Amino acid sequence: MAKTTKKRRGPQTTAKVELDLPVRVGQTVEVEITGLNHEGAGVGRVEGYTLFVDGALAGERVRARVDHVKKNFGFAKLSEVVEASEHRFMPPCPLYDRCGGCSLQHLAYEEQLRHKQQIVRDNLRRIGGFSVEGEGAITVHLTLGMSDPWRYRNKAQVPIGEENGALVGGFYAEKSHSIIDMNECLIQHQVNDEAVAVVKKAATKLNIAAYDEVRGTGLLRHVVVKVGVKTGEVMVVLVTTEEPIPQREKLVEAIRSEVTGVSSVVQNINPDKTNVIFGKKTVTLWGSDVIYDYIGPIKFAISARSFYQVNPAQTEVLYNKTLEYAGATGTETVIDAYCGIGTISLFLAQKSKHVYGVEIVPEAIADAKRNAELNGLGNATFEAGPAEVVIPAWKEKGVRADVIVVDPPRKGCDEALLTTILEMQPERVVYVSCNPSTLARDLKVLAERYEVKEVQPVDMFPHTGHVECVVWMSRAKE
């Protein structure tokens, strides 16, 4: 073996490099807020240095304590609002300042919708290089919001802990895994709160221990509740470290008798030391294996682990806009990439000649096929695999898509899929996005052959910084 020589390194040092900044950690500064970032934090500047201040709003002058600094920007905690925005709203949630789940609850709802529209416009301009103002600009509509933006979430996933001999369930304190007990969440369906409270009370009474992730002891890890908003059916899922549950029958009976509309009690076993909620094994303790719900006229079966949109009211708004942008008249062939359990595919199948759905997760494809059968829709074909592999295979078999719909995860479309779309050259592309930055990046690629006609933001998660979009693209004329 040839002998190698190590390069000698210079002297090592662990001393921190002091940054020459106009602010320092611990300092209280007065700053004018000029805007909001994509997470809803106020953006201000001190001598040109950018500070992000949680809880501050555009147009406000605030005092804030510098918490953390980097070379080009820093973070500060709001101490006092010196001059308040006319759009400041008193958060109704008593845990708002501790939870962090609803980062925009202090902003009037109509302004939240305008802010999310602006976030989309800014990303299209900055990342995509698109014009969003003036002649020839892309039309970015005002965000479609809710008439009542509260109690919209149909699913709760609550970690369980123990405090003073009783079970607690709520959310993790900032930068810790210490659980802060919560009895009510104003964006959750009321039955979610009710079911979690019943399980905490009954499990405490029956001496069922909460899981301690530090020691690796205890039984009950999470309570997951799913509500069929249109049907009223409720599923309660108990996530445990092992299968035997002490006095299981009494726990199930408490849930059956005290939770409104419960039709399914399920146990999921997750023995691993992980922050992933679900384990591989699921058993039904009582009632049905699934509950049902509707998005528009389409019925969906929802199991303990299947994905289903958490805001069905706004999902219907999103899907109706997708159907409109697809321009389906009953004669089109549509490909739905990232089809999941077939939610968009089956919506499109109502007004299309045939829909082909592809998804990389085999379990989701099984659910999609079951949902197609449930609705008597025979004009939908589903296949598991990478979209960039399956779609060209369909093309080889003679499938010619008039419309391609994509609904990717936050990371956006796979580069190979974008290439496939450009090669397939459908008349229309409809892009459903949950991340404006990756949307802008992908539209820039597709703009090689497609014209972005309209962008419609939809508020799927009121009081949070998240915004979804539906984009209509039409093949550019040669």
Bind-site residues: 309, 338, 359, 407
Three-state SS string across the chain, please?
CCCCCCCCCCCCCCCCCCCCCCCCCCCEEEEEEEEECCCCCEEEEECCEEEEEECCCCCCEEEEEEEEECCCEEEEEEEEEEECCCCECCCCCCCHHHHCCCCCCCECHHHHHHHHHHHHHHHHHHCCCCCCCCCCCCEECCCECCCCCCCCECEEEEEEEEECCEEEEEEECCCCCCEEECCCCCCECHHHHHHHHHHHHHHHHCCCCECECCCCECCEEEEEEEECCCCCCEEEEEEECCCCCCCHHHHHHHHHHHCCCEEEEEEEECCCCCCCCCCCEEEEEEECCCEEEEECCEEEEECCCCCCCCCHHHHHHHHHHHHHHHCCCCCCEEEEECCCCCHHHHHHHCCCCEEEEEECCHHHHHHHHHHHHHCCCCCEEEEECCHHHHHHHHHHCCCCCCEEEECCCCCCCCHHHHHHHHHHCCCEEEEEECCHHHHHHHHHHHCCCEEEEEEEEECCCCCCCCCEEEEEEEECCC
**Amino acid at residue number 37:** N
Give the CA dihedral 380, 384, 388, 393, nearest 10 degrees.
-70
29 Cβ contact partners less than 8 Å away, ≥ 6 residues apart: 23, 46, 51, 63, 64, 66, 76
Tokens encoding 184: 């009510």
What is the C-alpha to C-alpha distance for residues 300 and 77, in angstroms, rounded to an integer?
44
Which one from 99, 102, 434, 469 is the annotated catalytic residue? 434
What is the C-alpha to C-alpha distance for residues 145 and 466, in angstroms, rounded to an integer?
12
185 counts as catalytic: no
**Amino acid at residue number 347:** F
What is the C-alpha to C-alpha distance for residues 129 and 132, in angstroms, rounded to an integer?
9
Known binding-site residues for S-adenosyl-L-methionine equal 309, 338, 359, 407
> What residues are annotated to the active site?
434
